[in-house]
Structure 1
Amino acid sequence: MRVVADHTSSGLNDGIQRSDCPTVYDTIIDFIRLLRWHRFSSKLLTDNSVLWKLDVSSAFKILVLSKRWQARQGIAIKRKFPDGSVHTWYHIEWRGVFGCRAMLFLWTRFMSLLMWAANNTFGIEHPLVYMDDAFGIDLVGSMVPFVHNGAIHIIPTQQAAMATLWGGLKIPFKLSQEKAPHGRCITITGIRCDLASFSVSLPEKSISDLIMEIDAFLLEPTRHPTLRKWRQMTGWLSWALNVAPQARPYLTPLYDKIAGKKRSDAGVHINTSVAMALAAMATLLVGSPSLPLDAPSLTRWGLKDADVVVYTDACLSNKTGSGAGLGFWLRWKGTVHHYYCRPQRAYERIQFAETLTVVLALSIVVERSPCFHLTNFVACATKPPSMRSNLKHVQTTLAHYGSGLISSPTIVV
């Protein structure tokens, strides 16, 4: 039996502010950056390099709390006997529990200290950790024997060093292929990482599970899933964005619906925009291939690296009163170019007008100015187009103006 302590219903979490417990994780994005750095900068990533992962068993339970807090973690267990009598046992939980609001904060601090020791004392290069999963790259790829629980395992040197650190601190872990995989292609934080193809992807089972969850969410009998379910869905979809970043706009309607809501057990209505966005994202995830890590679009660059910087602005009513006004200007080789457009129609949302201006600017610069050889394109909006603008309208705009933008340069708005 595993006891799940709910500190919210008991009131213990009321004294802990979320702002006092910030948590920062090493995500698959950080791992992608590390892989790309070793491939293109350090040049140390070779055909012998392997990936590895190590998982802490019974996370949180290895943290012993202060006696003053232990006294607040009393658990009453009642049992009714055949004779009708009821007996109550009391248990003091002296270790960390998942239901405590501060536990993620404490755990990440503890694991950060472990990663510091792993790097500075045990020589593990760039160790990363997400919750209870530590992972990294063994660049050399040499294998060494390691004895754990009476069995000999042949594992990468870096993984063995991490296991040695944990073993010395009596931190429980398993060296099974499921909990501690290593090789050229392994799954880390639920995402398949493949050094051979230098790509990341979602496992087929993860995609099918996510599609089933989306279907169950949309088919909720009341059409009002609880806020807790909404948050779970947005969290799962955000995780999928690691390998499908082009699906990010589809999350906007979900965040719009739950913005400002706080009651986790309160129902939130599924509107048409949310249903369409989830259906579109499900289709995209099924058809999306793996994400190649050598894609130029993953290269980090700033404003100083841009080939062209375009400044855009829009208004809902122009000076002639004929509708909206769209305009932008850019500087190219010492010459200033400016454009404006009055589409002779009004728009309800300034966000849509701003987005349309950015798309129009990109279309004109790329298609009508062949002298511009673009690699990196920056559009600076005076009021940046909000991702909260109507997704359907934005998609229609892109389809109308973006026929030549399918293979467009890297763009930052």
Structure 2
Amino acid sequence: MSGAGARITSILCNVEILETVNVDLKRAKTNLLLSLDVPQFPESQWTKLLSGGTADFDQVLSGLYASADVERTTERVGGLEFSFVSTAPTKWVTTFGDWTTAFDSFAEALTFIFPHRGTELRQYATHVKSFFKARPASEHSGVIAYDSAVRTRVGQRRNILHMDFVEFQDLQVRFIFSPAQSASALPLRSESRQEGMWRKVNLVWSDSSSDDVPPTKESLAEASINMKPVPVPPANELSNRAALDTIANFPNLFSIVTPVDVDRFECLLNDHPNRPLVCSVCHSLCEGFGPGHLPPTVNIPTLTTTQKAIVPLQIPLISLSCANNIFSRAFDHSAGRFSLNSMIPKTERTVHLDGLQQLGEALISAREQHPGRPLVIWKSDVSHAYRVLPMHLLWQIKQTVVLDNQRHVDKDNDFGGGGSGRMWSVFFALVLWIATFIKFILDLFAYVDDSFSWDFADNLVWYEPYQAMYPAKQATLLRLWDDLGVPHERKKQEWGTSLTIIGFLVDTDQMSITMPDQNCLDLIAALRAFAVPKHRRPLVEFQWLAGWVNWALNVYTLLRPGLNTLYAKIRNKHHPLQALWVSKALCSELIWIADHLATSTGVYLLESRCWDPTVADVVLFTDACPSGLAFYSPAASLGFQCHTDDVCLPRGITQDGIFYLEALAVVSAIVHTLSAPPYPRRLVVWTDNTNTVDMFNSLHALPPYNPLLITVVDLLLGTDCQLRVLHSPALNVEGCTAMNLENPRVRQPPRAPWTKSRLEFEHAVAISASIDPSSALTYSSALQSYITFCRMHQLPIEPTADTLSFYVVFMSHHIKPASVNSYLSGIASQLKPFYPGVRNARSSNIVRCTLNGCLKLYSSPTQCKRLLHHSELLCIATRFTTSDVFDNVLWWSVLLTGFYGLLRLGELVMPDNPQIRDD
């Protein structure tokens, strides 16, 4: 029987058995389990196989390693009793060995029901094992996911078998050749601190007149000036005798072919300043491209073959179907222990890509210079871009692929190569240099093989090969490509006032960048379909949605907080098909993104400009401490404060969460400012907490803080306000004083300055009271209070022993001396980079004595007794000296001996400690 006939027969037998079994599925399962030779297999998975589905390999593996029957759990609810077993697996398939064990058990069980499917399963096992052998162990999770997806598809359809490998090519590309990135690679951490939110936003442009302008990224053409030359094959490859002999013996299999006119290309590059690059690219066009660093050939096995086994490339290893039945080649250069990509260092894989940031700058400049002249956008695409470049003969022999037991030589640069993008980027950079500096096509950019720029709407010229009008710049570029032999097709040469560039719609009339309407609607629909609580979805779907939304964030940057819970869900998850719950919090954030996408108008180039804080419409100062938070508006001379007793901290925030209070102070200031019109166009908020600055600049925070970001983003989008949250190491004294005017419980209440004579007097009293050397220390930071003290008393900031001693005396009259002690440690720590001798001043004898004296005098005002004056002792003596009451006489005696004073000062303790006695 032919292969096709055997396949049809097997499918018909499957259907016949399933029809028979499912007449009475329960009875069929009972008869199966009572069979004498039934193989060991989990009972729950037998039901799936008898229904025509597939098995859960995690459950199969768990059942094989179970040491006893699963314990049943019984629960009573009223008069009802529920008995159940746990369905969660105890082991998971994560390695090749786990998969083999589970598959063998699955195959034995399936052939017990369908005896005719043995050959099918053996062929399928060989197919999957070949992927395990070809991929490194770190990528085996993709093979496991591919197998699960294949078995699921076969179980859901009755017209395919496990050996119909053509039906699973899309799954191979999805799970094996393009495995999803692990969650650990996602950008979860807060990025480094910047000067404001606009530096975090990609599509924000600087004014040319501004002094605070970030450096402009150079275009691909400009980057060619500093690019390194294309490497030549290493010496170990040039002496590879086996490869050289094969090339010499089969010259018809290896050749250098390119459509590029190398002589014309080199002629137009005569004036290029980077001569080593030009010479290397021209040489490679003639001799072939290839990576410059390869491992020694002794580590790579050599295969002797015959001419019959090697034929020129005819059929690609993998064919990806495209529109109109056009196919493109895709080769997996990462397969196997000695894969081609494993030979290419990461340093040779970097690619320079131009983007919308540069195009936006060009459009803004054109609009400012020609305000009344209509503009258009155009883009041109190179056909089969990578394959324009021929590969070196010694690299072609490594690009031999096996198909139908025959080897085929791929002679050109391939899309799947690790260094392919860099080779194309270097070549195309020189093409664009010619276009820019020889043909004078200004503002020309490229993203891989797509070139794009702008032109005037009335500057159209006739392009003869396509019999159509094109913008002059675009026509000039096409003529240059014709001159150089760079291939292109008419359908990929587009222009208009609204055009999709790198996946986003650029409109020159509106001067805006948005997602195309259909793409936006598709994303909104996907978000709403995904946001169904109390459902479970595989990890790969979470990652797929995260990638899609991340792409949209290139334009809708403010919506980044909507991915907070999603990232938390997929963190440290690696198995693509691992089921994750869709929580209510996740649904809320996804719906939040969808709602804003439905109403957002995108990025408007003329409005999305970075600006200096000095031109802000409203400036606010915020601060917080463990006892309260406040914000202050200098322009309105208004300050607002709140005690932390009135703040309800969310779950996950500790009671002393100062970071949350600092962030809440910023949010409170923003909410107050944007709660009612007129809304400021530009808002600046200053804070002394760097974590808060990072949080608002990156729009990323831990889940308990995310509602704060969502609240702010809602206000910014609703009021069209531009926000910058900036860091100030020491807020201005006026602002800090104003924030603390009314509440004596906050950190820095207003304090009246002392005269110099009082400072000296209190200073002397504190030193004289320094008796006990045993005092506890705590740590805190109060640099701001020290700076305020110095400014109030017109003292230098330099922390000398005298200044610190005066500070101790002054502060001890307003706060507890123990807190002053902690303040000194923080002051010394923060001032050490500026005043290296601060710790010596801090530990000086005068400062220590002053502090210890204040501890005795002011530590506990409700308990500490003041000193008795001589007049008071005389008054007491007249009353108690002649008393007839024994207790009165005894008390008078104790008072005269100073018992209480000695006890209070630590001089009389029980048990006695000689170490704290004064000499």
Fold conserved between structures, TM > 0.5: yes
The answer as to whether partners of 2:618 and 2:680 remain within 8 angstroms in 1 is no
The answer as to whether partners of 1:61 and 1:95 remain within 8 angstroms in 2 is yes
Distance 1:15 1:259, change over 3 A: farther
- 1:200 corresponds in structure 2 to 513
Report 1:3-402 matches (<5 A). 3-11=329-337, 12=339, 13-16=341-344, 18=346, 21-40=349-368, 43-44=369-370, 46-78=372-404, 88-139=405-456, 141-148=458-465, 151-176=466-491, 179-214=492-527, 223-226=537-540, 230-259=542-571, 263=574, 265=576, 267=578, 269=580, 271-272=582-583, 273-295=585-607, 298-303=608-613, 305-306=615-616, 310=620, 312=622, 314=624, 318=626, 325-327=628-630, 332=634, 341-344=642-645, 345-347=648-650, 348-349=652-653, 352-364=660-672, 375-380=682-687, 381-384=689-692, 386=695, 387-390=700-703, 393-394=707-708, 397-398=711-712
Distance 1:398 1:411, change over 3 A: closer
Higher percent of residues as strand: 1
CA distance in 2, matches of 1:215, 1:21: 38
Q: SS at the partner of 1:200?
A: strand
The answer as to whether partners of 1:53 and 1:181 remain within 8 angstroms in 2 is yes
The answer as to whether partners of 2:414 and 2:420 remain within 8 angstroms in 1 is yes
- C-alpha deviation, 1:147, in angstroms: 2.5
Post-superposition Cα deviations, 1:216-257, rounded to whole Å, max 9, x if no partner, equal 76689861232xx55543333233234433322213333444
Report the number of matched residues.
380
The answer as to whether partners of 1:4 and 1:99 remain within 8 angstroms in 2 is yes
The answer as to whether partners of 2:674 and 2:719 remain within 8 angstroms in 1 is no
Distance 1:281 1:270, change over 3 A: farther
CA distance in 2, matches of 1:198, 1:128: 18
CA distance in 2, matches of 1:184, 1:116: 26
CA distance in 2, matches of 1:366, 1:152: 56
Identity score, percent: 26
Post-superposition Cα deviations, 1:14-47, rounded to whole Å, max 9, x if no partner, equal 444556634443223332232223223xx22543
The answer as to whether partners of 2:375 and 2:457 remain within 8 angstroms in 1 is yes
Largest Rg, 1 or 2: 2
Q: SS at the partner of 1:223?
A: strand
The runs of 5 or more residues in structure 1 that have no matched partner are: 79-87
Post-superposition Cα deviations, 1:275-312, rounded to whole Å, max 9, x if no partner, equal 433333233323333543333xx012244554666565
Post-superposition Cα deviations, 1:105-135, rounded to whole Å, max 9, x if no partner, equal 4434443333332211111111122222111
The runs of 5 or more residues in structure 2 that have no matched partner are: 1-318, 320-327, 726-919
CA distance in 2, matches of 1:36, 1:175: 29
- C-alpha deviation, 1:364, in angstroms: 4.8
- C-alpha deviation, 1:146, in angstroms: 1.4
Q: What is the identity, as a one-letter code, of the residue corresponding to 1:162?
A: L
CA distance in 1, matches of 2:621, 2:421: 42
CA distance in 1, matches of 2:529, 2:717: 35
Range with bigger deviation, 341-350 or 156-165: 341-350
Post-superposition Cα deviations, 1:80-124, rounded to whole Å, max 9, x if no partner, equal xxxxxxxx1211223232323333344344433333322111111
CA RMSD of aligned residues (A): 3.8
Distance 1:354 1:140, change over 3 A: same
- C-alpha deviation, 1:61, in angstroms: 1.8
The answer as to whether partners of 1:313 and 1:383 remain within 8 angstroms in 2 is no
Q: What is the identity, as a one-letter code, of the residue corresponding to 2:415?
A: F
- C-alpha deviation, 1:137, in angstroms: 0.7
- 1:81 corresponds in structure 2 to none
Distance 1:265 1:65, change over 3 A: farther
Distance 1:404 1:126, change over 3 A: closer
Distance 1:152 1:365, change over 3 A: closer
Higher percent of residues as helix: 2
Distance 1:186 1:392, change over 3 A: same
Q: SS at the partner of 2:357?
A: helix
Distance 1:222 1:248, change over 3 A: closer
